[in-house]
Amino acid sequence: MNQQPKGTHDILPYDSYKWQYIEDKARQIAHRFGAFEIRTPIFEYTEVFLRNIGEGTDIVSKEMYTFLDKGERSITLKPEGTAAVVRSFVQNNLNAQGLPQKLYYITPIFRYENPQKGRYRQHHQFGVEYFGSSDHYMDFEVVYLAYMFLADLGLQGISLKLNSIGCPICRPRYIDALQAFINDNIDVFCEQCKVRQNKNPLRVLDCKIVKCKETLKNSPSISDYICDECKFHQSELVKLLEYAKISYSLDPNIVRGLDYYNRTVFEFVADSPSLGNQGTVCGGGRYDNLVENMGGKPINCVGFGMGIERLMAIMEEQGLSFGQSTMPTVSIVYASIAELDDCIQLATELRKHISVDMDFTGKSMKSQLKRADKVLSKYALIIGSQEKENGTVTIKSLSNGVQSCVNLVQFLDNPNAFLL
């Protein structure tokens, strides 16, 4: 039997309204903050990700879908949103439009992972990237946007974890101290952490293995090492969060899996029984050097990526509403084949104004009405021999069963007046 590739999912017709609901909310929130949508290709030259995400990261070291195209160019399916957006920002000289700039995207993301609940090979992210300010105000807006989105969906029990990973000036001192700590406890760490310790010790803090996590509780804290400017940046951001009544916790173990971050990093984490380690719904932070590294001017940035599948799983778990599938408004029902042509004409007229479903395959009235319920129509418009003869249509409310017979010409003149 043909099957979809492991770790991917079809979004089926009876579920797609949930996606539309979340995507609509994402757009509404982004627009409320003055962010514009950017759409980049689903694949890029591998270089875009290889050089900018960082060679020691999980994504680059083992998760990318990379292949040679027919022209022998190395291509990679988008494994995260930021590098692609920055590539486009630089290439299209978007900073000429003025700074700061606020962009958002909703995109599929591809990572070769071990599939489990909340971890797939194709998932989807809502992401936001702000360009053009080194001030904590920009960090605040981005965090606040993510917070408002989660609140708008009605999610409960999501906590914001915040950290500063310093800057290129103060971070090396911390890395030395962390490396010394790991060395002193090397036997306790997993094999992967032993490798990470040499390549990029910060990444050890990102390890999901319980024993490593436990040991790290006693490791030196980055907050004791960051410089005064980084400290100031963080304390000003925290003041704004407190002003906005957003609760947060400072968590020195949040480092984020990507190389390009500096200063602010944050995650929104759900306490979800079914998602476990996959409870992180959003990850983001400040990246001040990426635009320049990709050939642009030095432009400071902050952004986040939010996993839509994980959001959806938590919404289901918490019994939250995804709105209602709103299509179609009416179903047209014919009593017999003799009225089919009239009904087709009625549907054609009505579709200029409202959404209409109709089964045109000659089924019985009973099964047409069953279908009307199934597709969540609000009304059935019934035409039988009487209606045909009298130039009328019977409107039946599918919520309370109330019926009325109205003049067809009048109805077509202003259908919405009859469908209250």
Q: Rule CB under 6 A: say whether 280 interacts with ligand ATP.
A: yes
Nearer to ligand ATP, 211 or 297 (CB): 211
Q: Rule CB under 6 A: say whether 264 interacts with ligand ATP.
A: no
Cis preceding-peptide flag for 100 (omega within 30 of 0):
yes
**Closest alpha carbon to 294 in 260, 266, 329:** 260
Q: Find the shortest distance in angstroms from Cβ 359 to ligand ATP.
A: 38
Query: What is the biggest distance separating any 2 CA atoms in the chain, rounded to whole angstroms?
Result: 93
Please identify which residue in 138, 282, 335, 372 interacts with ligand ATP, judged by CB under 6 A. 282
Within positions 229 to 258, which residues make up the interface with ligand ATP, using CB under 6 A? 257
Q: Rule CB under 6 A: say whether 40 interacts with ligand ATP.
A: no
Q: Rule CB under 6 A: say whether 111 interacts with ligand ATP.
A: yes
Please identify which residue in 40, 88, 101, 125 interacts with ligand ATP, judged by CB under 6 A. 125
Please identify which residue in 100, 132, 305, 328 interacts with ligand ATP, judged by CB under 6 A. 305
Q: Rule CB under 6 A: say whether 278 interacts with ligand ATP.
A: yes
Please identify which residue in 9, 119, 363, 378 interacts with ligand ATP, judged by CB under 6 A. 119
Q: Rule CB under 6 A: say whether 285 interacts with ligand ATP.
A: no
Q: Rule CB under 6 A: say whether 310 interacts with ligand ATP.
A: yes
Tokens read off for 31: 């627009």
Tokens read off for 409: 């010409």
Nearer to ligand ATP, 266 or 411 (CB): 266
Helix or strand holding residue 387 (H, E): helix 385-390
Which bin fits 155, alpha (ψ -120 to 50), beta or left (φ > 0)? beta
Residues 6+ apart with CB under 8 A from 256: 165, 206, 265, 267, 283, 284, 285
Q: Rule CB under 6 A: say whether 49 interacts with ligand ATP.
A: no
- Beta sheet of 43-45, edge-to-edge order: 43-45, 74-77, 66-68
Q: Rule CB under 6 A: say whether 259 interacts with ligand ATP.
A: no
Tell me how crowded residue 254 is: count the other CB atoms within 10 A of its CB: 22
User: What's the Rg (C-alpha) of the chain?
Assistant: 27
Please identify which residue in 54, 132, 252, 307 interacts with ligand ATP, judged by CB under 6 A. 307
Nearest residue to the partner ligand ATP, using Cβ:
307
Nearer to ligand ATP, 9 or 173 (CB): 9
Q: Rule CB under 6 A: say whether 120 interacts with ligand ATP.
A: yes
CA distance 122 to 265: 24
In a 3-state reduction of DSSP, which class is residue 13? Answer: coil
Q: Find the shortest distance in angstroms from Cβ 231 to ligand ATP.
A: 25
Tell me how crowded residue 154 is: count the other CB atoms within 10 A of its CB: 11
Q: Find the shortest distance in angstroms from Cβ 118 to ligand ATP.
A: 6
Residues 6+ apart with CB under 8 A from 406: 392, 393, 395, 418
Binding-site size, ligand ATP (CB under 6 A): 18
CA distance 262 to 291: 13
Q: Find the shortest distance in angstroms from Cβ 49 to ligand ATP.
A: 12
**What's the angle, vertex CA 65, arms to CA 62 and CA 67, rounded to 5?**
115
Q: Find the shortest distance in angstroms from Cβ 216 to ligand ATP.
A: 15
Within positions 152 to 181, which residues make up the interface with ligand ATP, using CB under 6 A? none
Tokens read off for 386: 């009487």
In terms of residues, how long is the chain? 420
Please identify which residue in 100, 132, 166, 283 interacts with ligand ATP, judged by CB under 6 A. 283
Give, to the nearest 10 degrees, the angle between helix 228-243 and helix 136-152: 40
Within positions 77 to 96, which residues make up the interface with ligand ATP, using CB under 6 A? 80
Q: Find the shortest distance in angstroms from Cβ 223 to ligand ATP.
A: 21
List residues near ligand ATP by CB under 6 A. Answer: 80, 111, 113, 118-120, 123, 125, 257, 278, 280-283, 305, 307, 309-310
